[in-house]
Amino acid sequence: MWDLIYFLDLVGTFAFAVSGALSGIEKRYDVFGVLFVAFITAVGGGTTRDVLLGLTPVSWMNNIVYIYVIIAAVAFTFLTSGRIMKWRKTLFLFDSIGLGVFTIAGIRKTLEAGLSWEIAIMMGVISAVLGGILRDVFNNQEPLILQKEIYATACFAGALLLFIFYLAGVPLAVSIPVAILSIILIRILAVRYQWSLPVFGNSRKK
């Protein structure tokens, strides 16, 4: 199972890097700028998690494969530029896989560091969503993820599910795949049916 999860982690990294590269191209950044934003988007969440937990040197430093996956994703984005819409559905699926795998990997690392489930759930969500938030911050835009779409919520639901399975004594070989799949499914359904979280305050005055 771990081999499959590792592979899906790379798939998610690829999709996150493409999303970062696309936003950098839209901003008309140069090649270095596009690489930088792709990199921040792909590893920003996991790096912050590692730094907060004290797991340094951070994980991508010890496994060069992640850097090459990101470079490949940027090359792919440049090469398909203009025709990237053809890949839209595939990339969205990859992105959802990343969301699922990153959440569960974040929980695992936090628990292994000896911290509580509450913190682990938080760190799982942060691992998965912070990359996309930092992408927008470095692009000088309001973070899209903070505004709409069931995105962090999908991660949170999957994290909660994993916790419930843990309390119920379900073995990891069952609970981890189910939690990852549920995050992917919620994300896909949310986009399909345009679910969104409520916005408070001024919204009524509109």
Q: Which residues bind a second copy (CB under 8 A)?
A: 24-34, 36-37, 47, 51-54, 56-58, 61-62, 64, 67, 78, 81-82, 113, 115-116, 118-119, 122, 133, 136-143, 145-148, 151-153, 156, 196-203
Instruction: CB nearer to a second copy: give 90 or 141.
Output: 141
Residue 8 or 158 having the CB closest to a second copy: 158
Largest CA distance in the chain: 52
- When the beta carbons of 101 and 129 are compared against a second copy, the nearer one is 129
Minimum distance, C-beta of residue 56 to a second copy, in the bound complex (Å): 3
Beta carbon of residue 25, minimum distance to a second copy (angstroms, whole number): 4
Shortest Å, Cβ 85 to a second copy: 13
Nearest-angstrom CA–CA distance, 48 and 50: 5
- If the CB atoms of residues 67 and 185 are measured against a second copy, the closer one turns out to be 67
Shortest spacing between CB 116 and a second copy, in angstroms: 6
Question: Which residues, in sequence order, are CB contacts of 42 under 8 Å at separation 6+?
Answer: 13, 14, 16, 17, 20, 66, 69, 70, 73, 131
Q: How far is the CB of 55 from a second copy (least distance, A)?
A: 8
Three-class DSSP labels, 45-83: HHHHHHHHHCCCCCHHHCCCHHHHHHHHHHHHHHHHCCC
CB closer to a second copy out of 49 and 104: 49
3-state secondary structure 82-132: CCHHHHHHHHHHHHHHHHHHHHHHHHHHHHHCCCCHHHHHHHHHHHHHHHH
